[in-house]
Chains A and B, each alone.
Chain A
Amino acid sequence: EVQLVESGGGLVQPGGSLRLSCVASGFTFSSHSMNWVRQAPGKGLEWVSYISSGGSTIYYADSVKGRFTMSRDSAKNSLYLQMNSLRDEDTAVYYCARVGTGIRNAMDVWGQGTTVTVSS
C-alpha cells in the first residue's frame, strides 16, 4: 500500500523549533518529488515547501523562507521539515504529499497530517 506517515508535531513556544518527519512506503521514494502543505485551523490549504526527487532543488513559500528547511533521506525513505523561529501563524496541520509521475506536478498521495501548535 502506498503510504505517507507524518510525525513530530506538537506544542512549541513562539521562537522555538520543531522537526517534522514523513516516512514513505509502498513506492519508490527516490523517484518522486515531495511537498509539505499546511492547513491552519478552519482555513484553507497553504503550500510550504517542495523538494525534487534527488534533493538538489528546493523551493519555499515566502511565509517560511529563511526559517524552515526541507530535506530528504532516500536511504530512510524519509522527508523532513526543520522549523525554526516558529510563530503563532505557523500553527497548522502539516501534510507531506507526493508529486505524482506523469500528472504534471499534481500531488497524488497525502499523509494524514501532523499537528503543530505554536503558543505560549
Chain B
Amino acid sequence: EIVLTQSPGTLSLSPGERATLSCRASQSVNSNYLVWYQQKPGQAPRLVIFGASSRATGIPDRFSGSGSGTDFTLTISRLEPEDFAVYYCQHYGSSLFTFGQGTRLEIE
C-alpha cells in the first residue's frame, strides 16, 4: 500500500511570498492519478490540481503542480490571503484512494 508523506507539516509565509509544498510517495506512482486539494476551516475540500499538473476549473494560475515518480510539488507563486489553508495530496491506484496527512499553510 502506498503511503503519501507531505512536508512540511506547517508552512508559515506572508502574502506575496512563494509557497512550495511537497508530497512524497513510498513507491513510484502514476502521476496521472496524483491530486491536490485545498481545505479551509469548516469547509469541504476543494480540488486544486489533478493529474499532478493540471489545474481544476476555476483555480487561478498562481497554483501549479509538478513531479513524477515519488516526488510531487504544489507551488503557489504569490500567496493571496485566501490561499492560507490545509493542502492534501491524494493518489488513486490499485483500487485505493490514499491521502497525505496534509500541510497547513498559515500566515506568518
Chain A interface (Cβ < 8 Å from any Cβ of B): 35, 37, 44-47, 50, 59, 61, 95, 97, 100, 103-108, 110-113
Closest to A35 in B: B97
Minimum Cβ distance to chain A for residue B60 (Å): 17
Q: Is the CB of B51 within 8 A of A103?
A: yes
Query: Known contacts A50-B97, A59-B96, A110-B45; is A45 also within 8 Å of B37 by CB?
Result: yes
Within 8 A of A (CB), among B83-108: 86, 88, 90, 92, 95-102
Rounded to whole angstroms, the CA-CA distance of A103 and B90 in the bound complex is: 13
Q: Is the CB of B54 within 8 A of A45?
A: no
- With a cutoff of 8 Å between Cβ atoms, the chain A residues found around residue B54 in the complex are 103
Closest to A96 in B: B44
- With a cutoff of 8 Å between Cβ atoms, the chain B residues found around residue A44 in the complex are 86, 88, 99-102
- How many residue-residue contacts, CB under 8 A, span A and B? 69
- With a cutoff of 8 Å between Cβ atoms, the chain A residues found around residue B44 in the complex are 95, 110-113
Closest to B102 in A: A44
Within 8 A of A (CB), among B26-66: 32-33, 35, 37, 39, 44-47, 50-51, 54, 56-57
Q: Is the CB of A104 within 8 A of B51?
A: yes
Q: Is the CB of A45 within 8 A of B51?
A: no
Give 8 closest A-B pairs by Cβ, nearest first.
Answer: A106-B50, A47-B97, A110-B44, A105-B92, A103-B50, A106-B35, A45-B99, A59-B95
Q: Is the CB of A47 within 8 A of B98?
A: yes
Q: Is the CB of B88 within 8 A of A100?
A: no
Residue of A45, A103, A105 near B56 (CB, 8 A) is A103
Minimum Cβ distance to chain A for residue B88 (Å): 5
Q: Is the CB of A45 within 8 A of B45?
A: yes
Minimum Cβ distance to chain A for residue B103 (Å): 10
Can you list 23 A-B pairs, Cβ within 8 angstroms, ordered by A? A35-B97, A44-B86, A44-B88, A44-B100, A45-B39, A45-B88, A50-B95, A50-B97, A59-B95, A59-B96, A61-B96, A97-B45, A103-B47, A104-B33, A106-B35, A106-B47, A106-B56, A107-B45, A107-B90, A108-B47, A110-B45, A110-B46, A112-B44
